[in-house]
Amino acid sequence: MKTIIALFKKVFTTAAPFFLLFLLITSCGKEEAPSVKYGLVIHGGAGTIEKDKMPPEIEAQYEEKLNEALLAGYKILSDGGSSLDAVEKVINILEDSPLFNAGKGAVFAHNGINELDASIMDGNTHNAGAVARLTHIKNPISLARMVMEKSEHVFLIGDGAEQFAVQNGVELVDQNYFYTDSRWNALQRALKKEMESKSQTVLYPALSDEKYGTVGAVALDKNGNLAAGTSTGGMTNKKYGRAGDVPVIGAGTYANNNTCAVSCTGWGEYFIRLGVAKDISDLVDYKGMTLKDAADKVIYEKVEQLGGDGGLIAIDKNGNFAMPFNTAGMFRGYIFEDGRPIVKMYKD
């Protein structure tokens, strides 16, 4: 018996370093999540979201709503539903909450009106739908999906898009639906700041956080189909019918079953100029980069070097995911097969 134990000890002592080396090597390739069958990543906007400035009761509200959205999406995916259904449902929940700059909580444009943009893309068919400058649509992401599935077009704008909505049985809501005190006050602050700085010559107006509060979701379903969607009220005090990256397929939203699904949030102008969402897909596709490396490169190098900021969420066909941002924080979360929702707001 003793000899056996001694032998075992010897073998163990000799083998241990090799075993540890083996563990180290195999774990190196697993920095990204291991291959999973389905999963969901969401965001509720990037900006100056800092722990020490966040009242605990507000933090709790965000956490609760993001968890609710993750679990609703998870239910669809675990039941075998499509990534498109999960993305739409999750975004509906965030649109219906006044906490986020989309749907109910949309910011006010300069003219005191809420103008909403959204887009969705199906990585399986490469089909897409985008809507811009909506003023009476409760859930822009659902209209974007309707454009994708029920029209011969991809991109519908303004009153025309709303006419399409009505013809397809969507009920218009009054502008009052979008009114929230916090967003109205944000506009008043922005207008005041603008008046005060009128004497200075500035190319870009003083930045206000309100430009970052987009919501979005990306998902991989059991059939291996990827989908991405994004919805926003845009930038507080935006003028001249401005649209950001959200209704621009390839900039704010992109999905391709062969690569990944991406939804962005940030200073839209920079995301359009760089075609951020498609750029990540192309870095993965054409350069063979991992999703994480591609996403990091675009946010921390390209967007930053051009002078922009923001973040994004992305998931690839193997269930690897990334959530980089170069702002102080980003409302974000993910849920995979194990059904455990993880919500984050600040830098890790």
251 in contact with its own copies (CB under 8 A): yes
Measure the CA–CA gap between 45 and 328, rounded to whole angstroms. Answer: 11
Closer by beta carbon to its own copies, 94 or else 147: 147
Can you state the angle between helices 83-95 and 140-150, rounded to 10 degrees?
A: 150
Q: Does 226 bind its own copies (CB under 8 A)?
A: no
Closest to its own copies by CB, 18 vs 286, is 286
Among 1, 4, 195, 203, binds its own copies (CB under 8 A): 203
By C-alpha distance, which of 238, 214, 218 is closest to 227?
Answer: 218
- CB under 8 A: which stretch of 62-70, 161-169, 184-192, 340-348 binds its own copies? 161-169
Distance CA 231, CA 245 (A): 10
301 is a contact residue toward its own copies (CB under 8 A): no
Tell me whether residue 290 is exposed, middle or buried, using C-beta atoms within 10 angstroms of its C-beta: 0 to 12, 13 to 18, 19 or more: middle
Cα Rg of the chain, angstroms: 22
Residue 77 backbone phi and psi in degrees, to 5: -70, -40
> CA 49 to CA 46: how far, in whole Å?
7
User: Contact with its own copies (CB under 8 A): which of 241, 340, 342, 347?
Assistant: 241
Active-site residues: which are they? 214
Q: Does 187 bind its own copies (CB under 8 A)?
A: no
Binding-site member from 87, 90, 144, 156 for its own copies (CB under 8 A) = 156
**Residue 115 or 221: which CB sits closer to its own copies?**
115
Please tell me whether residue 287 binds its own copies under the rule CB under 8 A: yes
CA nearest 175: which of 160, 162, 157? 162
CB of 255 to its own copies, least distance (A): 10
Please state, in angstroms and rounded to a whole number, the distance separating the CA atoms of residues 164 and 209. Answer: 33
Q: How far is it, in rounded angstroms, from Cα 170 to Cα 282?
A: 36
* DSSP run (H or E) holding 191: helix 181-196
Nearer to its own copies, 73 or 117 (CB): 117
Place of tokens 């100029």: 273
59 binds its own copies (CB under 8 A): no
Rule CB under 8 A: say whether 10 interacts with its own copies: no
Residue 155 binds its own copies (CB under 8 A): yes
172 binds its own copies (CB under 8 A): no
> What amino acid occupies position 271?
F
Q: Is 283 in the site for its own copies (CB under 8 A)?
A: yes
* List of residues contacting its own copies (CB under 8 A): 126-128, 130, 132-133, 151-161, 163-164, 203-205, 238-244, 248-251, 254, 268-269, 272-275, 278-279, 282-283, 285-287, 306
